[in-house]
Structures are given as C-alpha cells and as structure tokens.
Structure 1
Amino acid sequence: MDRQAADNRKKSRPVSGWSKLRRRIGWMTLLSLIALAATGFLLLKYAPLPAGATMQSTRILDANGQTIASLKGGVNRPTAKLADISPWLVKATLAVEDRRFYEHAGVDWRGLARAAWVDLRHMSKEQGASTLTQQLARNLYLSHERTWTRKLKEAWYAGRLEQSFTKDEILELYLNQIYYGHGAYGAEAASRLYFNKPAKELTIAESALLAGIPKGPRYYSPHLNPKSSRARQRKVLQSLLETGQITKLQADRAARENVAVRALPEEEERAAPYFAEYVKKIAVERLGIDERLMNEGGLTIRTTLDLRMQQMAEAAVKKGLTGANEELQAALIAVDPRNGYIKAMVGGRSFRTNQYNRVFTNTRQPGSSFKPIVYAAALENRTITAATRFRSEPTLFYFDHGRQIYRPGNYSGRYAHADIGLRQAISASDNIYAVHTIVQTGPEAVISMARKLGIASPLKAVPSLALGTFPVSPFEMAYAFSVFAGGGERVEPIAITLVQDRRGKVLYESHPQRTQAIEPALAYVTTHLLKSVFERGGTARRVANMIKRPVAGKSGTTDSDAWFVGYTPELTTAVWLGYDRGRPITSGEAHRAAPIFAQYTEAALSGTAPKGFPVPEGVVHAYIDPATGLLASPACPGEGAVEVFLEGTEPLRSCGPLGSAVEVKPNRDEQSGRSWWRKLRGWWRS
C-alpha cells in the first residue's frame, strides 16, 4: 500500500526545468545529425563536381628574377580509350595501386585501417591509403598540400566521382591523367615516350615498368634511376602474381626480359639545365613538394643562381675543352662563401647528350687538392707551422705499428733533395711533406677537420689520405674551401631561397644555417699559404696573370682526374676534369683545369672591385729565414721573407753567428699578436 502511494506521488511530481532542457537538446542534436546526414547524402548524390584544375607553368627564377626554366613546356598528354590500353597495364596498375578498386565506393576503409595498423606498428608512415579514385580526385580538383582539410575534400570528391561515373570510366580517366615523368601524362604518352609504341601493345614487362613509375616519377624513371626502376618493376610483377593476374612462369619471364627503353628526345638547350634539374630534385625530395605540383601547379621558385655568372661558367668550360677528346668531361660549381648560395653549375660537357650531373654524383680522388685540409688540421693541432721543415726526398713511412709501409712519390719524380717549409711544399705540391704532416698530426685529426668543413664522403685513417686517395665530389670540395674563404664559417649550401604557389602564398623560405667550423685565424693562415700556388714556382703560376685580384687555391692531379679548387672573398669555385669511366688523362688534359678556374673567376667577378682577405685577431706576421725557419737576422744564410702564424706558434729564435740560434724574447706587441711587421700590414693586406 505504501509502495503504491509512493509511485503515485512520483508520477504526479512535476518535471524539472533542467530535465526538459536536456530532452530538448537531445532532440535537437538528433535532428541536426539527421539533417547533416541528409544534406551529405544529397550533396554526394546530386552536387556537381567542380571543373578540373587547369595546368599552370612553374617557373624557376635566378637570383635577379630572370627565368631559368618553365616546367610546363613539353607537356605530353594524348588520351586513349580504356579498350586501347593494354590489359596488362590496367592489371599492373590496379595490383600495385588499388587492389580493391572494384569493391570500394571511393574510399577503401578496410585498406585505410590496414595502413594505419602497419604505420602504428612501424611508428612511421610506410603504407599509403589513397585509392585510385582519391588520387584522381586530387589530381583533378585539389592541390597537393598535406592537410586534413585537403584529405577530407579528397574523400568527398572521390565519393562523388564514384556516384557520377562507372568504375571503368574512372579507371580510364585515371590512366589518362596520371603522371609518368619527363612531361608524359597518361598511359598513351608514357608508352610512346619510353617504348615508342601505342599503349595497347605493351607487354607484361613493359606494363610492370610503367605501372611502377607514378609512385615517384623521378626516383623510378628508367632514365634517371635505372636500378630503382628495375627494382620497382619486380615489385609490380610480384603484386600481379599475388593477385593471381599472372602465373609464376610469366612473372619470371617478365623479370628476365631485357626491356628496351627508348632514349629521351632531344630538347632545346636550356639555361643552366643541370642546375634546373638539381632544383627540381631538391624541391621534391628535400622540401616535400609533390612532383605533379612542381610540373603544373603554377609555382614560382626563386633560386640563388646568377645567370650572368652561369653563362661565364659555361663559356669557360667550353673554351677549356676546345680541342680535347670529345669524351673528356668537366664539372664546375661556384658558390658564394658569405651565404652558401650556388651561383653557377656546370654538370658536364653537354646536358642534351648526357644528363649525369658530375658536380654531385661524380665522386673522384681529389689528389693534392685535398692537402689544404691536411695542413689546416695540422695547424689547428699545432703539430706544424709555416716554419716547420721536412726533407723532400724519396721516403719510406711505417704505419699500423710498423706492420705496413707506405712509399709515396712526387709527381714526375721531382724532389727538392733538401729541407723545405710549408709554403714551398704547398707551392710545389710536395707529396713527401704532406705525408710527413699527416704522420705527425694523425689521420684521425685530418678526418675530423674534413667533417668540420662539410665533407661527408667515406675517408680512411691511413697515410695516403694526405694525397687525396679517397673520392669526394666537386660539391663537397667547393663548400670545404668556402670555409677558408669565409673566415672559418660554414654555411649550409643553398639553391632555393623561396617557393610560392600560384596565389603568391609562401610554401618555403630559406634560412641559412651558419656554423663557426674553424677559428678565423686558422682560416686566414691557411688562405695566406694557399696564395703561394699562384706565385713564382707555384703549380698555378701559369694562370696567375689571368686573375687581377687576391686569390687562393690548390690544384690536384691523379692518374684519371684533374682538379682546381680556389677562391676569392666573394666566390669559391671547384673545377674537375676527367673521363666518366676513369680512363687515364694526359698531362695536357690535366693542365686544362686551372685555366678554366682562372677564366671563370675573373669573368664572373668583372665589375667587382678586388678585395683582400681580412686579417682577423690571433694572426701574427713574422720576418723569417726560409732556409732555417728561424727569425731572420743578418746572420741567417738565406734571404728573409714575411710569414704568417697562429698567435703563439711563431718562432722566437733568430739566426746567430755561424748559423747558431739566438732566442729572441717577444715584446708586449709580439705577445699580443702585434709584431713589428704591423707597420707594413696595410701594404700586405693588399
């Protein structure tokens, strides 16, 4: 009886205002969700698709705004019906790009979940989840920016495409839109570009090669990266096998087939073609810009190149190779040591006939041009100074605890057969002095110096390292010497300063990274010593009259390579000559490197007033006797000359009677790095 009364009282209790509000909110939320779902359904069902994006030329500009290249030129886009495309290419594309194409409705949720699970397991983005329809939607209607908004739009457009077209129509659109590299859009264009045949005649092997390219048109191009292209082709064949499209026998035969890829058609000579290709590579691989966006997205890419300097570089290389064997190749790279900007680049004799860029990929033995790195390490470690003397004669060097012997020799068997100083060793490129130096300093210290200067190529801690026996690239050598030119500061190499989209939005802007790699005083002392290469008795004395400004540098010659790397305060240039297959070069061919450097440097800096290398703190000038390495005095056997030292390493003794040494106590000025030579420093700086 009491329970029934209590229930009656509950039923008759008025509903509170808060409960009514919650009910209203619940109903409103439910109605909103229903309305949203209905709107989405109607939009998906009936909303018109936007017009496909129109291509706009991407422009690559030099530092002064002049056009280097326009990437829209040469676009190749013939269309073909699905029936006129080889079924093998269709099957290969579906097997490697979207195996469930005929099962999903635009977005493959199962594939998306699988890809997310794989990425979670590997803690990285290894699996792609975009369906073929999503890729088509992105190419037709969207930019390639990596945002959630773009991904949501892509999914919606994919669903709308599935509502508007049949699967075969979508597949046909895709195969006529996808980019296959080298300006070819669509299967028909790609088939004719690579194989000179219509798309319907493609074999299994050819189809597998083509189907692998869109994943990364540059990386998987059979012209630019044949090894990667072949590996990708085998992966596509494996996908065909896994999906049951071909048998094991067919897969094996296709993998063994020697696919004949047609040579690329000749293009008109472009301005700075090697540099333009390098810029495209950096934009795609380092900055993450989609390659299709690069080619047709209307980007503006501002670079560091100076077209006038580039023309001077091409002219110097052309003149330097005049009359030479037509297979002799050359590379030149010039950079501004003050900011790391690439000002000119020549990657080979002719881009039209060979697109191989020797500035980066051609790692060759630098020979004696590596010695400045050895001497910089020794000077920094105080194991030698400009007054240190070693005997120049055939010498045996024992290393590895005496278990191994190294017997270097001088070029053409020329020796001084006397004690020589560092300046003479650099000027004459004496190998014996260089090996003495690395033995005294330790090859590990030399490798450490090379790393500080920016050289990343493999180096071994052996005495022959002093003579440049381990391959490096012209790019590395140019930037290593730029540290000397830039007062010890290393600046990150820069080719691109700004990237803007078609609306002017900044996608990338460079911010140079600077590191004080070595002390300014060490950079100056090394530079001062390298100036001797252009003086009497130096290996570059023949071209000294071609350069009307202070300059430093070093030549290098091996059996198959010739180098010259040099610099002024405004410009560092590395020149390499040789044969691609490493055949020996003659003495006459080796002598072509220095004139190319000299002609280019003077022409590129024409109109720029000559400027000396500034003398930093911590540098001491001393008047020494080259024959003894002591401070010069009337009692010295030789004629005195001015030499440079890191403060605290200068000699403190002079020649006494009969050649004996007399200690000279430095005065206050000498202790502070201000020797009596300060009076003539103004003249010396010039």
Structure 2
Amino acid sequence: MDLNNKDEQVAARSLSRWSKLRRRIGWMTLFTLLSLSAAGFLLLRYAPLPAGASMQATQILDANGETIASLQGGVNRPIAKLADISPWLVKATLAVEDRRFYEHAGVDWRGLARAAWVDIRHMSKEQGASTLTQQLARNLYLSHERTWTRKLKEAWYAARLEQSYSKDEILELYLNQIYYGHGAYGAEAAARLYFNKSAKDLTIAESALLAGIPKGPRYYSPHLNPAGSRSRQRTVLQAMRDTNRLTEAQANRAASIVVNVRSLPEEDQRAAPYFADYVKKIAIERLGIDERLMNEGGLTIRTTLDLRMQRIAEDAVKKGLQGGNEELQTALIAVDPRNGYIKAMVGGRNYRNNQFNRVFAKTRQPGSSFKPIVYATALERHAVTPASRFRSEPTLFYFDHDRQIYRPGNYNGHYFHGDIAMRQAIAASDNIYAVHTIMQTGPEAVIEMARKVGITSTLNAVPSLALGTFPVSPFEMAFAFSVFANEGRRTEPSAITRIQDRSGRVLYESHPKEEQVITPALAYVTTNLLESVFERGGTARRISKMLHRPVAGKTGTTDSDAWFVGYTPELATAVWVGYDRGRAITSSEAHRAAPIFARFTEGSLGDASPQAFRMPDGVAQAYIDPATGLLSSPICPGRGVMEVFLEGTEPTLSCAPLGDEPRAKPDSPPPVRHWWKKLRRMWGS
C-alpha cells in the first residue's frame, strides 16, 4: 500500500513539472508570436518602401555593333490624374484585373490560395492571382520571375503600398505605370498612341480594348494581333457585364463597334524593323527574357544581322517592286550557311502599314523551288542519276495502287517532246521530269529528306509534292538550301549571339549546333546541277549578267507566288513575291523575285572575291553522250558533255553507232576524271 502511494506521488510530481514546462513553452511561444507580430506591424507601418526601379533603354545591335533599335530610349509616360482618366477604363481595368480591389488589403488571399492549389496540383507556377496592388509592386520594385520568393516579396510590398497610399492613389499609380505596348506606359500614353485622344475621352469599346492589352502586349496589341486584340476586348466587356459595371445592352453595343485604331507613328520606323520584332519575340518566348526587362531593363542584345546587307536588301526589294501594284508584297531572308546567322530580313514592303512578317508565313506554295529537295533525295537513294532520261511530254501518272491519276503540266504548255536528262530538266524546270523522279524515289523519302534539311511544314506523300504544292515559309526554304551550300551540314538558325544586362553580366550566349545531314558529295552534285539554272536555257538566265560569281539556285512559280531561292558558299537567300490574300500574279510579277535575289546577292558580296563550290571526295565526273545518257566515246555521233555523279553511280556503258549495242565501260576510268577533279579541287581551295 505504501509502495503504491509512493508511485502516485512520483507520478504527480512528474505531471506537475510537465504542466509547468508546457505553460512556460506556451507563454514563450505567445511572447515570440506577439513580438514578431509587433515587429511585422511596425515594419509594415513605418518601414520605407524601396525606390522604384529606374528604366534604361535596351539596345539591339547588329553583328558590327551598330544600333538596330533602341527600345524605350525615352519612356512614353505622360502622367494623368485619376479624375482625368475615363471611368470606363477604370471600370474595365478593375473588372478584368482585380474585381475585389476595394475589398482586399493588397493581397487577395482567397485568390492566392486558389492559385497555389492549382500550382501544387499541376506542379507548376503558372497561376497568377496577383492583385492590382501586387502588379504595381512588381512593376515598381521586382522582376517578373515566376518564383515563390518573388511572390512573397510582392505580397509584402503590396501590403506596404496599401498602408502608405489610399485605394484611389494606388489605382492612379497603376494606371500611370502599366505597359500598354509599343512604348506606351500609362493610360494617357496608350490613349494617344492607339486612338490619338486623351485618356479622359475614351469610349466603352476603346477602354475595353486598352484594358485587355497589359496581360500580354505582344499578343493583344491591335497592331500585332488584331484578332487576338478583338477577342480580348470581348473578354473584358464580358467581365464588366459580370461585375455589373455595364448593362447587357451596353456590353453588346460596345462589342458591335469596330474601333478605329491609329496607325503607328513614324518614329516606330527603325532599321530592320521586322528583324527587331523577331529578336524581341525570340528573346521573350524562347530564351525566357521578361518583357518588362526587355523594354526597360537596359539590356544589350547583340545579333547576327549585318546592317550593310540589310540596307542592300531593302533597296533591292524597293527596286524590285517599283512600277508594280502597291498591294504586291515580298519577303527576303538571307543567312550565312556556315554558321546559321541571319544576315538580312525583309518581311514586307512597308512595316509601318503592315507589321506581318512574311518571312515566317507558312501559307505559300514554293512551286519548282522545292524540286532540289526531290532531286537530292533521288540522287541519294540512287533512284535516278544526272544521266537518267525521261520523256518531256503530257503524261498521266498512276499512284495509290493505280486508284488515282495525276496529270501535271509544264508552265505555258512547253514540252521538249523528247527524252531529257536531269540537268536540262532542272534548268528548264520541267515538271514531267520532276514527277517521274518522285515516282521512282517515293514521296515518303522526299519528305524524309525535307525534314533533314529543315522543312517542318506539313507535307503529304503524293506525286504533286514534287512540284511544291504544299506551303512552306521563306525562312524554311533559305535554311534548307543553306544545307547544300554548307557541304551537307545543317546549322541551327541564329539571330541573337549574346544578351547582357546593364552591368555587363551575360544572360545568354549562343552556341549554334551543326549536324551533317547529307554527304558533302550529294550537296556538291545537287549544287552543280542547280548552277545550270543560270546558263543558257535556264529559268534564271535573265539575271546571269547581274551576278559575277558562282551561284546555284532555283526559281519557283505558281498561280499566286513567285520565288527565287539561291546561294553562294557564304550566303543563302530566299525571296518571295505575291499577294497576301493569294490573288493571282501576272507574268511580269512572276519575274520580280529573281532580280531581287541577284541585286541583293551581288550587292552584298560585291567586294568579296568570288568563291567556287568546293568539290569533295565521293564525286565522279564523266563525259556523257547527251543523246543517250551513256558514256561518250569517239564513235558517238554527238559531242560529249561533262557531268557530275555520286561516285559509283556514273554510267558503265558507252554509246555506240546507231543500231549497235552499247559498249561496256573500259576497266580503266577515263583520265579526265582524275585531272579534272584535281583541277576543281585546286580552284575551290
């Protein structure tokens, strides 16, 4: 019994000590929490806000350090009082950006919790849920990186702003701070830029359009994306209707109004404007540079463009379109095949009137300019050789297990009505020969080759593929032909070489990848055949006198498109001419692309010594009898012509007198094959 009492006493003493310890921990915890709360309150109430970030122009430079564009060299930000801003813009902004603006204290915890839950479920940081005050804090004090650390800082600064300013003052700061695209910061600058009026005079429809832009100035600018801007405007009007800031009748009436947007002013015209837009797009969308940092962060962006070549390109385009229909459009892109650097880019005839960059338009059929890819495929697979002969005459082709018929025709109904070889077919752009070639090779193999050289557009495995009936962009065509110019190596397209911040820290540096996608021998044989386009009987013979160096290339003409894609060892260029709406081009308009190419190429390389295409190993040369496609011999009736082949695919039989069988190729190869190859190699080096 005494033993039990003793145990009870020990237990009671232990429980008493634990109770005292718990009470002590509780009081310490409470004291700590009260201390932290008090410190937080004092900081929130009295800690000074940091100075707002200063803005500095971002410089886009060409390869030689010349300025292409200065983004926000002087920020367009006239200040307006809240009373001088249209109440419709205020209502539209609150409806689409922060419906509970007058209810929260800087952070909408309900919205933040919802966004956090979505992020956790999807393992991402895509949800925003930033209040208008948080957006202001981010624009004034922080970067736009998607991290929880930045979110916490943003919430802190937002709460501090709410302590320091009234709701109307915060709203006024926001409407004078937010970026509306094209260099316009704040409601007043945006109203003047887009509508040439003061912010206080904005209508419901205009206010809804403006309020939709800050979410993504590149995507919702009425200049860069009219359809996206219009869709976003309707979203804003619906938000105003849902929050009872508009009646249904007012929303419907505003949605039916076509808002007249003012053209961009002259000062938006800059050197290489289409290229500058492309650089911004690449930096933001592909390299992850924040848009605000791009416009006002004082970056230095070094690019591959050569402003001297760019001016020559713009001049060549201007001269090439003179005297024609003012609606006739064009695109030109030139790249250095050795490293993938974009050297010149013209996306249209007038940037101020139309900012759409046709260099990237995948809406145009390349026509016969696609044929080199077909011929390269056939040569690689030994389906045909340069000596292979097909009859040039109206022909029916059966495909899909003979269930379908394809009836191609030659331009202007011109046929040779006889057998021709590949060089003659390429020079004259004979469609019948090209379709015979793809039938021998297989369209699937041609698509495979197109992918290897960089064509990403949709292509279907049908015979008409040989004639370029599936749309591709000038950008794709220039880089595809650059593979032939670069001895079979495909280089990754490159527009930006380096990005540095205002302190000189490197944010990005390019290291273009290169891949051998076809053999040097195949690239050379294809190139050698394409040189004949500039010779007598070739479709580019008219511009041959404008060029004073070895050039290879191919014309392409459809009912609505004119192309010329060509190259030298150091420059590959694609030129397109046509109408935006696919309207038919005239015969004279169809001949405008090639002279633009010639003026640009010779102007850009005029001071450089002409460079020959180097003949690599794996190429054989032989004299061929043009009448039979067999090896020439003294007993052949005609004169032999020199032809190039992939080694091992040259003819093995020689021609014979009429009525005799072709003779076997002698065991020893023709001597010319060795000394000519050696001579060409010496010349090429």
- TM class, shorter-chain normalised? over 0.9
Which residue does 2:662 correspond to in 1?
661
Letter in 2 for 1:451: R
Moved more, 330-339 or 497-506: 497-506
Secondary structure at 2:266's aligned position in 1? coil
Q: Determine if contact 2:375/2:526 at 8 Å carries over to the other structure.
A: yes
Letter in 1 for 2:454: G
Secondary structure at 1:384's aligned position in 2? coil
Deviation at 1:326, TM superposition (A): 2.9
Which residue does 2:6 correspond to in 1?
5
Q: Determine if contact 2:59/2:301 at 8 Å carries over to the other structure.
A: yes
Q: Determine if contact 2:387/2:421 at 8 Å carries over to the other structure.
A: yes
Q: Determine if contact 1:337/1:491 at 8 Å carries over to the other structure.
A: yes
Secondary structure at 1:60's aligned position in 2? strand
Which residue does 2:673 correspond to in 1?
677
Moved more, 321-330 or 225-234: 321-330
Which residue does 1:194 correspond to in 2?
194
Q: What is the distance in 2 between the residues matched to 1:240 and 1:415?
A: 66
Q: What is the distance in 1 between the residues matched to 2:626 and 2:465?
A: 27
Which residue does 1:179 correspond to in 2?
179
Deviation at 1:391, TM superposition (A): 0.6
Q: Determine if contact 1:563/1:577 at 8 Å carries over to the other structure.
A: yes
Which residue does 1:537 correspond to in 2?
537
The TM-score with structure 1 as length reference comes to 0.93
Q: What is the distance in 1 between the residues matched to 2:76 and 2:442?
A: 58
Which residue does 1:404 correspond to in 2?
404
Deviation at 1:172, TM superposition (A): 1.1
Deviation at 1:329, TM superposition (A): 2.2
Q: What is the distance in 2 between the residues matched to 1:327 and 1:257?
A: 27
Which residue does 2:267 correspond to in 1?
267
Deviation at 1:362, TM superposition (A): 6.2
Letter in 2 for 1:294: M
Q: 1:7-46: per-residue Cα shift (whole Å, max 9, x none)?
A: 5567889x99xxx999999998886665544433322111
Letter in 1 for 2:382: R
Letter in 2 for 1:640: G
Which residue does 1:106 correspond to in 2?
106
Which residue does 1:555 correspond to in 2?
555
Deviation at 1:47, TM superposition (A): 0.9
Deviation at 1:522, TM superposition (A): 1.6
Q: What is the distance in 1 between the residues matched to 2:421 and 2:98?
A: 70
Q: What is the distance in 2 between the residues matched to 1:637 and 1:21?
A: 117
Number of aligned positions between the proteins: 680
Inter-CA distance 152–652: structure 2 relative to 1 (3 Å threshold): same
Letter in 2 for 1:679: W
Letter in 1 for 2:664: E
Secondary structure at 1:589's aligned position in 2? helix
Deviation at 1:413, TM superposition (A): 2.0
Which residue does 1:205 correspond to in 2?
205
Deviation at 1:550, TM superposition (A): 1.9
Q: 1:248-284: per-residue Cα shift (whole Å, max 9, x none)?
A: 3333332222222222223364211111111112222
Q: Determine if contact 1:622/1:675 at 8 Å carries over to the other structure.
A: no
Q: What is the distance in 2 between the residues matched to 1:323 and 1:253?
A: 44
Q: Following superposition of structure 1 onto structure 2, how do residues 240-255 of structure 1 map, counting pairs within 5 Å?
A: 240-255=240-255
Q: Following superposition of structure 1 onto structure 2, how do residues 291-370 of structure 1 map, counting pairs within 5 Å?
A: 291-361=291-361, 363-370=363-370
Inter-CA distance 86–632: structure 2 relative to 1 (3 Å threshold): same
Q: What is the distance in 2 between the residues matched to 1:491 and 1:440?
A: 30
Letter in 2 for 1:681: K
The TM-score with structure 2 as length reference comes to 0.93
Q: What is the distance in 2 between the residues matched to 1:302 and 1:588?
A: 40
Deviation at 1:179, TM superposition (A): 0.7
Moved more, 439-448 or 131-140: 439-448
Deviation at 1:234, TM superposition (A): 1.7
Give the root-mean-square deviation of aligned CA atoms: 2.8
Structure 1, unpaired ranges of 5+: none
Letter in 1 for 2:419: D
The answer as to 2:593 corresponding to 1:593 is: yes
Q: Determine if contact 2:624/2:630 at 8 Å carries over to the other structure.
A: yes
Secondary structure at 1:359's aligned position in 2? helix
Q: Determine if contact 1:392/1:418 at 8 Å carries over to the other structure.
A: yes
Secondary structure at 1:301's aligned position in 2? strand
Q: What is the distance in 2 between the residues matched to 1:123 and 1:55?
A: 34
Letter in 2 for 1:613: F
Secondary structure at 2:393's aligned position in 1? coil
Deviation at 1:161, TM superposition (A): 0.5
Secondary structure at 2:645's aligned position in 1? strand
Deviation at 1:665, TM superposition (A): 5.6
Q: Following superposition of structure 1 onto structure 2, how do residues 569-608 of structure 1 map, counting pairs within 5 Å?
A: 569-608=569-608
Q: Determine if contact 2:57/2:74 at 8 Å carries over to the other structure.
A: no
Inter-CA distance 125–381: structure 2 relative to 1 (3 Å threshold): farther
Which residue does 1:83 correspond to in 2?
83
Q: What is the distance in 2 between the residues matched to 1:468 and 1:290?
A: 39
Q: Determine if contact 1:492/1:514 at 8 Å carries over to the other structure.
A: yes
Moved more, 384-393 or 240-249: 240-249
The answer as to 2:535 corresponding to 1:521 is: no
Q: What is the distance in 2 between the residues matched to 1:641 and 1:95?
A: 77
Inter-CA distance 69–664: structure 2 relative to 1 (3 Å threshold): same
Deviation at 1:499, TM superposition (A): 1.3
Q: Following superposition of structure 1 onto structure 2, how do residues 60-79 of structure 1 map, counting pairs within 5 Å?
A: 60-73=60-73, 75-79=75-79
Letter in 2 for 1:459: L
Moved more, 305-314 or 576-585: 576-585
Deviation at 1:609, TM superposition (A): 2.6
Which residue does 2:466 correspond to in 1?
466
Secondary structure at 2:360's aligned position in 1? coil
Q: 1:207-241: per-residue Cα shift (whole Å, max 9, x none)?
A: 22111110100110111111111111122222223
Q: What is the distance in 1 between the residues matched to 2:327 and 2:253?
A: 37
Q: Determine if contact 2:58/2:73 at 8 Å carries over to the other structure.
A: no
Letter in 2 for 1:645: F
Inter-CA distance 547–683: structure 2 relative to 1 (3 Å threshold): farther
Q: What is the distance in 2 between the residues matched to 1:563 and 1:49?
A: 59
Which residue does 2:381 correspond to in 1?
381
Letter in 1 for 2:680: W
Q: What is the distance in 2 between the residues matched to 1:580 and 1:616?
A: 42
Structure 2, unpaired ranges of 5+: none
Q: 1:397-444: per-residue Cα shift (whole Å, max 9, x none)?
A: 223333433222222222211100001100111111111111222222
Which residue does 1:631 correspond to in 2?
631
The answer as to 2:486 corresponding to 1:490 is: no
